[in-house]
Each structure stands twice: as structure tokens, then as C-alpha cells.
Amino acid sequence: MLTPSATAGTSGKATQIDLFSLRTPQMRAFHLSWFAFFLCFLAWFGIAPLMAVIREEMGLTKEQVGWTIIGSVAGTVFVRLLVGWLCDRIGPRLAYTWLLVLGSLPVMGVGFARDFETLLLFRIAIGAIGASFVITQYHTSLMFAPNVIGTASATTAGWGNLGGGMTQLVMPFLFGSVFMGTFGLSAGVSWRACMVCAGAICLLTGIAYCCLTQDTPQGNLKDLRAAGKIPAPHPGTSTFLNAATDYRAWALFLIYGTCFGIELTIHNIAVLYFMDYFAMDLKTAGLTAACFGSMNLFARTLGGYLSDCFDEKIGLKGRVLWLFAALFCEGLALMLFSQMSILATALPVMLVFALFVKMSEGATYSVVPFLNRQATGSVAGIVGAGGNAGAVAAGFLFKSSLDWPTALLILGAIVTVTSALALTIRFTPAQEQESSTEMARAAGPDLGPHSAPVA
């Protein structure tokens, strides 16, 4: 819940979200993590709304465009697995700093691509910054108490994902109005300049993240381990193996592939889809596609908030039931959208579909912090990788001989069936009791989780 105060709960975790403050380490991590993810998302999909221009300049075939869609999300699968483990080892602050600094290089590098092979290589490398999502979720889980963790994690992720919608507006604006209109550059130079700017901003944000955040409410992991306040990771143990042996992590891996993976796919194809099937120009298609991404402003937060509410009423199983319902409705809405041929009906159906996609994502990561407290980063990495694995699998449908509406229909059916996996996720009585105790402790006598209106 977004409320006007941030009270430190157990272990210094915030029990409420002070949305308009940067005074506490919890809220600095909150705001910088979503903003960094926003920029990463914008840079990650920066060439998607410009692909029509790039396709014409480089003479790309449909198959080659399909490979760029797959390449943009394929590399992220492995980097998310690595980053989740890295967060458990060195903490989210340093992990985010290095990811932003190193990830900015291929973002700027794609502006210098001259052929399909080079473009594809940089497109794969750019996918690494998509792992920023895992760090955002991990950092949030260290800073906020169980009574608001669903809302907090969904909000930081949702506002970060908003970059996927804003890139549909920002990149065409920079391309057409700034670099071509104001500076008089050619189309070929303008789209390249857009990517160089996006990479430079990511680099600066990485430096800011290092200077302005800390790993936990008590301080950085390195200092806390040196002081003996928390144990250092044992050389013979692996948080990743600990997480990877839990079937629930892999169930969420598949579930996240059918919500976030679908969102990534839509971001990659939306502009071309509306141009090719609804005869729009580039700017109009970009504006229409941006409506899908703009739902992240509130929809993912809503998914996390409702998960917190269900947890309060009926425990952790409430989070699972809500996840099933949101995902099931997402699949139905996607199948309906795939059959729309008139813009007046396609737009409202797309918005309903977008609402459930993003609520499903928020519901998924509202479950993640409760699976394995000793390997939260690795669990977050596995589940996050599932999102990109789903996008890779979906990408092959769009490079095949199928027309795109048929591909969307098939994806919708897959999502609907996969929603049943949510019902297989179980929690032990000890986990239920631990969550219930922490929820009550975080709420306190005068700070119930519903003590203030949603901001």
C-alpha cells in the first residue's frame, strides 16, 4: 500500500511506503531501482519502435527481423540466472552498478552497426541489461516488510516496465522531432544517435546507483559481513542449487514466461503489428503501442497489492489463488485480442489484456520472496529468466510461416493452460506460520496494512 509514511519494521524493513521521500535508505532503493530498471527497459527495447526504419535501411527480411526479436531476449535468460546468484554474493548495489555500466556499452554500440550480423550481435548483448529486473526485485525484498512486499515489488517492477511503453513514444520523438527535425540529421544517423543517448544515460545512472543506495536497511553486505552482523556465504554452499532443487521455483519460471515473456514479445512486435495489420504510420503505431506499456503505471502494482490483500485474509495460499485467476484471465484476453480486426474493438481488448498481463507479473513476484528466504536472489533469478525464456519461445512463432494473429491465438491458449501450474505451488505449515507472524509484527497495533488510503 502506498501511504504517507515509511515506518521501519523488523530488521529495519519498511512497513509502509513513503512515496514522496528519499530520506530513508528503503525509499532511495525503491525509487532508484525502479528508475534504473525504467532506463534499462527503454534502452533494451529502444530499437523496437524504430525497426521499420532499420528494416528499410538494412534491407532486413521477415526472418531476420524475427531473429532480432529472439536475440533481444535470449541472452537475458542466462544473465538473469547469474545476476540472481550474484545478488546473494555481493549485494544488489554493486550488482546493479556493474550491470548498468557494462550494459551501456552494447546499447551505444548498436548505433554503429552496419549489417544484420553486427546488429544481431549487439542486440543479443543488449539483452543483458534486462537482468536489471532481478536486482530491482531483490533489492526491494531486502528493504520492505511482508505486509507491503507485494505492493513494493510490483510497483518498482511496474514503473520500471513502463519504460517499455515509453520507448514507443520517446524513441520516435527523438528520432523524428529532435535529431531529424531540430538537427537535420538523416534517418540513418538519427536512429543511431537515439541509441547512443540511451546508453550514455544508463552509464550515468549506474554511477548514481553506487553512490546513493545501500544493500540493506542496516548497510552494505560487505560491511555487515566484515562486522560479523550477518554470516558470509560458505564456500561449499550454493544458493543457486538450493533454489534450483525447489520445484516451485520452476513452476514460477514457466508462469512468468507466460506473463512477462508475453509482455516482452508484445513490446517487440507491437509497432510492426499495428502498421502491418491496421495500416498505421510509425508515429500513430508507436502511440498505440505505448498504451500497452503505459498500463504498467498502475496495473502491476494492483496485482501485487491484491496479492498482499489475499495473503492478509487467507494466508500465502491466497497469493497463489490470485496468481491463477489473473493468469487465466490474461490467456482469455490474449486469444480475444488476436481475433480483433477493427481498431475500435482491438484497442479496448488490448487494454484489458494488458491489465491482466501486468497484474499476473505483480502476483508472481509477490510469491517469490516467500519460497526460500536463504536464496531469494537465486529464486528471483530463476523466475526472472523464465520471463525471457518465454519470450524466446514466443519469438520463434513470429519468425515462422504463421501469420501474427494466429501466433497470438496460440500464445493465448498456452497462457490459459499454464495458469493451472499456479495451483501446484504449496507452502509448509511452518512457512505459513512464519509469514503470518511477520505480517502481524509488521502491521503493529496501530499500523495495520490497510490503515491509510492508496495514494
pLDDT of residue 443: 66
Residue 1 has pLDDT above 50, yes or no: no
Mean pLDDT of the chain: 89
> What is the CB neighbour count within 10 angstroms for residue 313?
8
**According to the model, what pLDDT value does residue 3 have?**
44
pLDDT at 450 exceeding the cut of 70: no
H helices present in 110-186, as ranges: 116-126, 132-143, 149-173
Residue 230 has pLDDT above 70, yes or no: yes
Q: What is residue 219's three-state secondary structure?
A: strand
Cα Rg of the chain, angstroms: 21
In this prediction, residue 233 has a pLDDT band, given cuts at 50, 70 and 90, of low
Cβ neighbour number for residue 413 with a 10 Å cutoff: 15
- Grid cell, residue 74, equals 535470449
Contact 303, 154 (CB under 8 A): yes
CA distance 128 to 165: 19
Neighbours of 455 (CB within 10 A): 11
Mean pLDDT, range 74-83, rounded to an integer: 89
pLDDT in tens, 344-389: 999 999 999 999 999 999 999 999 989 988 788 899 999 999 998 9
CA distance 368 to 238: 18
**Long-range CB contacts for residues 397-406, cutoff 8 Å, separation at least 24:** 398/66, 398/69, 398/265, 398/269, 399/62, 399/63, 399/65, 399/66, 399/67, 399/69, 399/70, 400/66, 404/269, 404/273, 404/276, 404/277, 405/277, 405/338, 405/339, 406/338
Q: In the chain, where are the structural domains located?
A: 22-221+240-442
Query: Has residue 34 got a pLDDT over 50?
Result: yes
pLDDT of residue 235: 58
Q: What is the pLDDT of residues 192-201, one digit of tens each?
A: 999 999 999 9
Decide if pLDDT at 22 tops 50: yes
Cα torsion 47, 297, 40, 206 to 10°: value is 150
pLDDT in tens, 150-165: 999 999 998 998 887 7
Is CATH 1.20.1250.20 the classification given to domain 22-221+240-442?
yes
Q: How far apart are CA 102 and CA 107, in angstroms?
A: 10
Work out the angle at residue 302's Cα, subtended by the Cα atoms of residues 297 and 305, and round it to the nearest 5 degrees.
130
> Which of the two residues, 289 and 417, has the higher pLDDT score?
417
Q: 23-43 burial string, b = 16+ CB within 10 Å, else e?
A: ebbbbbbbbbbbbbbbbbbbb
